[in-house]
Amino acid sequence: MAVKKMVEAVFVVGLVVTMMNVWGAVPVEGAISCNQVVSAMTPCATYLIGNAATPAAACCPS
């Protein structure tokens, strides 16, 4: 019986830790959206797919 209780306790602890990780997650600050990535990469598209030998000036802002 002691082994069964220990297994149950380990399972409950694991379940609680998992729930804390899932529900306690904090949204990431400073993350960029897919639209921002698309907007930033659009000027580079011809270079990235191999239709231009060099990237456009808009692709490499300084």
pLDDT digits (tens, 9 = 90+) for 5-59: 888 888 888 888 888 877 777 777 788 888 999 988 899 899 989 999 998 898 8
Rounded Cα–Cα distance for residues 47 and 53 (Å): 6
In a domain, 45, yes or no: yes
Whole-model pTM: value is 0.44
Is residue 17, in this structure, part of any structural domain at all?
A: no
Asked if residue 13 is part of any domain, the answer here is no
Please give the residue range of the domain that contains residue 59.
31-62
Helices (H), the chain: 2-23, 34-41, 45-48
Q: Cβ(41)–Cβ(48) under 8 Å?
A: yes
As for how many domains the chain has, the answer is: 1
54 in a structural domain: yes
